A and B are shown apart, each in its own frame.
Chain A
C-alpha cells in the first residue's frame, strides 16, 4: 500500500524539506535556586539532625542544582510532632470554611507563580516545559481549588455518616509528577481537616520546597504541612512513625507492598497508588489518525514516566501492520531533547538509574525476540536521554509485556476478537488504566465493563482532572485520588442514623 500520501509531512521530508525547529528555550531566569535547602518543619526551614545533604541534579545536563537535606528518624519525629500540635491546636478545630480559604489561597498563588513552578519542575525532573507548563502546574492548582470547596461541605459527601479527619497524614510521592502528586496528596488531606508530613522523591525535591515557601506566603499555620526531603530511609521513618494516623503512597508496587505490610501490622489506614502496565486497545473500526495520536501521547507523554502509561498496544490483527507503520512515521517527527525548549515533546529521563533500567529492559525485549524501532533522532551530548522506542512482535510472556518499564517504550501485541483483547488486557497483576479506540459506542461500553482498570479512556488517553477519581485495581493499589471519592481516605466515617 502506498502510504506515503497519507502524511504530507513525511513526504515533504523525503523531498529534502527541513523539519528542524529553531530553538525556543524557556528562560530559567524566572527561578532562583538556593545552594542548600533545609527541611520544612513547623513553618520554618530547619537543618537536618545529621547535617547530611544530598545533591539534586538536572537530568538534562547532569549539573547539580542544589543540595537538599536528608531527613532522618529524629527529623521525621519533629515533623510528626509539629503536625500533631497543628492538628490539635489549629487545623483540627478550625471551621471548614476557614480551611477552605487557605486552600483557595494556595490554588491562587500556584496560578500566579505557575511559570516559576513549571520551569523549576522541568529543571529538576527533566520533563518538557510544555508539559509542566500546560499540565502539571495547572492541574496542581486546579486540585487545590477543587478540594478547597469541599472543606466546608464534607457532610454532603457521605450521606448518613458523621465524618471526622483522621489526624496526621504521612504521604510519600514519586518523581514523575512532583507538584501534581503533591497536590493530589496534600489538597484532600487538608480539606478533610488533617495535617500533613510529606516526603517528596529524592530526585525531584525542589518544587516541593518552593511550595513550602509559598505556604509561608499564604500564611498557612505552622505545622499544618511539613516537608521532609530524603531517600528511601526517610520514607521508612515516616511510615514507621507511631504518630502517623493515615498513610498515602504513590510509587512502585514493590515499595507499596512493604508499606502495606507496616500499615497492616500497625492497623493504620493506607492508600496505595502503584504501578501499571496499561493495555491500549485499538480496533480496526477506530478513527485511525486519532488513535495514532492517542497511542503516541499514551506512551511518550512525560517520557513514559507515567504509572498509567499505555505501554502495551493491543492492535487488532487486521490493521496491525499498517497501524504500526503509521506509529513509526509519527514517532519520527517527535522532538527529543532539551526539556526547557518549548518545542520538545520528549525530555530527559529522570535519573541515571531509571535510564539504566529502561536500557536493560529494552535489551531484554530484543533478546526475547521483539523487533526494535527507534527514530533516527539526535540526542544531546550530556544528560539522561533515551530514544522513544517501539517493540513489535511482543509476546505476552516477554518481560517487556509484563514489567513496568516506566520509560518511552511501547510494546506491540495483536488480537483478533474483543474477547481476546479483554483476556490479554487483563493478563497482568496490574490494573490501573486502559485505553479503547473504536467508533462503535456499544463496543466501548462492552469493553469498559470488562477491563480490570480503575481508569478507562475511550477515544482519548492520559486525561486528568481534579474532579475525576484516579486509582487502581489489583496490584495497582487501592483508594482513589480526585473527586468526591478522593476525600474518603482522609476521613473516618461513622454511621449517623443506623438502619431503618
Chain B
C-alpha cells in the first residue's frame, strides 16, 4: 500500500443550519501561504444572501424569546465545543498564513470571547436598562431589545477571533446574524459554522456567506429585512452609493473597534423600549 491520500474538504455556505453550495455554482480558490491549492470556497450570490436573511428572520423570534440564561448557556457551549476542536482551527489559521504561536493565541482569544459574551447574556440589561423617575403617577422603565436581523462584515484579520468579537455581541440580546467572513482567510469561518451546527445554536441564528465583500455588501445593505449592518470588517473607503443602500429601511450602520468589548458592543444592536403604566388603586 502507498501513502494515504488525504481528504480535501468542501467549504460550503452555512444557511438555516444546513451547508449548501452556492446556488450560483461559483467558487473562489483559496491557496495556502506557500501558493499551493487548499480549497474551493463557495462564492455566495445575491440569492444565497436572500436565503440567509430569510433563515435569520425565521429564527429570530425564537432566539429572542429564549431566556437570557438559555442564550448564555448556548454561547458558553460554543466555547466548550471549540476548545475540543482547537487543533483543527489552528491548522487552518496556519494554512492561511499565521504562525503556530499566533494561531494558538488567536484560539485562546476566540474561545474566551464566547465565554465573555456568554456571561453578558443575562447581565447587560441590568447595566443599560433603567427605571425612570418620571414626574407623575406612572411606573416607567426602559429595557434593551434585539433590533432583529443583523449583517456582520467580519474583519479580515484576525479572521477567527475578529469574527467572533463582532458576532457574539450581536447574538447576546437575541439578534440573528448573516455573517460575511474574512475574504483572505475564510477557512476558519466555515469550520466555525460546523462548530455552531453542533453547539445547540438553533438553525438560522448564525448564517455564514463566503464571497467577495464588495459584491455582497450592496445586497446586504439594501435588503429591507435586515435591521442593522456591522461594517467593522468592510473597507473604510466604501463607495457612498453602496452606503446609500442602507437608508431604504433606515438601517442601523455600526463600526466599532473589535477590541472594544462590553455592553456597548451589545447595545449597538439593541433598541431601547420604554414602557409606561399608571400607578393607582
Chain A residues packing against B (C-beta within 8 Å): 142, 158-161, 253, 256-258, 260-261, 264-265, 272, 274, 429, 431, 444, 448, 453-460, 463, 465, 467-471, 473-478, 480, 483-485, 493-495, 498-499
Contact = CB atoms under 8 A, between A and B. Distances in A.
A474 B240 contact: no
Given A456-B275, A460-B277, A469 B247 contact: no
29 contacts: A160-B262, A253-B250, A257-B247, A257-B250, A260-B247, A261-B247, A264-B240, A264-B243, A274-B250, A429-B249, A448-B273, A454-B272, A458-B275, A458-B276, A460-B278, A465-B132, A465-B136, A467-B132, A468-B140, A468-B142, A469-B132, A471-B272, A474-B249, A474-B250, A475-B250, A478-B252, A483-B274, A493-B264, A498-B259
A256 B272 contact: no
A448 B140 CA distance: 13
Contacts of A274: 250
Given A460-B278, A463-B134, A485-B130, A469 B272 contact: yes
Contacts of B19: none
A444 B250 contact: no
A494 B261 CA distance: 10
Contacts of B274: 454-456, 468-470, 483
Contacts of B253: 264
B116 interface: yes
Which of B130, B134, B271: most chain A CB closer than 10 A? B271
Interface of B: 116, 127, 130, 132-136, 138, 140, 142, 147, 227, 240, 243-244, 246-250, 252-253, 259-262, 264, 271-278
B272 A457 contact: no
Contact of B138 (A158, A264, A463, A495): A463
Given A458-B277, A468-B274, A469-B272, A483 B250 contact: no
A480 B273 CA distance: 10
A475 B132 CA distance: 25
Nearest to B271: A473
Given A264-B246, A456-B276, 5 more contacts: A261-B240, A264-B243, A454-B273, A455-B273, A469-B132
A431 B275 CA distance: 14
A460 B276 contact: yes
B258 to A, nearest CB: 11
A265 B138 CA distance: 42
B232 to A, nearest CB: 14
A474 B227 contact: yes
Contact of A159 (B127, B227, B247, B277): B127
Query: Closest 7 A-B residue pairs measured CB to CB?
Result: A465-B134, A265-B240, A264-B243, A257-B247, A467-B132, A260-B247, A458-B277
Contact of B135 (A142, A256, A478, A495): A142
B240 to A, nearest CB: 4
A160 B128 CA distance: 12
A429 to B, nearest CB: 7
Contacts of A475: 249-250
SS of B interface (majority): mixed
Contacts of B244: 261, 264-265
B281 to A, nearest CB: 13
Contacts of A429: 249
A265 B140 CA distance: 37
Nearest to A485: B272
A265 B243 contact: yes
Contacts of B243: 261, 264-265
A468 B246 contact: no
B277 A444 contact: yes
A467 B133 contact: yes
A256 B251 CA distance: 12
Given A264-B244, A485-B130, A468 B276 contact: yes
B268 to A, nearest CB: 10
Contacts of A473: 147, 271, 273
A160 B142 CA distance: 21
Which of B127, B133, B276: most chain A CB closer than 10 A? B276
Contacts of A458: 275-277
B250 A260 contact: yes
B134 A467 contact: yes
Contacts of A483: 130, 132, 142, 274
Contacts of A457: 275-276
Contacts of B140: 465, 467-468
Nearest to B65: A449
A468 B132 contact: yes
Contacts of A498: 259
Contacts of A431: 271
A261 B239 CA distance: 12
B247 A264 contact: yes
Nearest to A160: B262
A495 B133 CA distance: 28
A183 to B, nearest CB: 15
A164 B75 CA distance: 33
A258 B140 CA distance: 33
Contacts of A454: 271-274
A499 B169 CA distance: 14
A13 to B, nearest CB: 30
B130 A478 contact: no
Nearest to B144: A485
A465 B130 CA distance: 14
Nearest to B227: A474
A159 B130 CA distance: 14
Which of B130, B273, B274, B277: most chain A CB closer than 10 A? B274
A499 B272 contact: no
Contacts of A463: 134, 136, 138, 276
A161 B240 CA distance: 31
A477 B271 CA distance: 10
A277 to B, nearest CB: 14
Which of B252, B253, B273: most chain A CB closer than 10 A? B273
A453 B147 CA distance: 11
A495 B260 contact: yes
A253 B261 CA distance: 32
Contacts of A471: 272
B105 to A, nearest CB: 15
Given A160-B262, A474-B227, A499-B262, A256 B130 contact: no
Contacts of B262: 160, 495, 499
Nearest to B265: A495
Contacts of A494: 260
B235 to A, nearest CB: 13
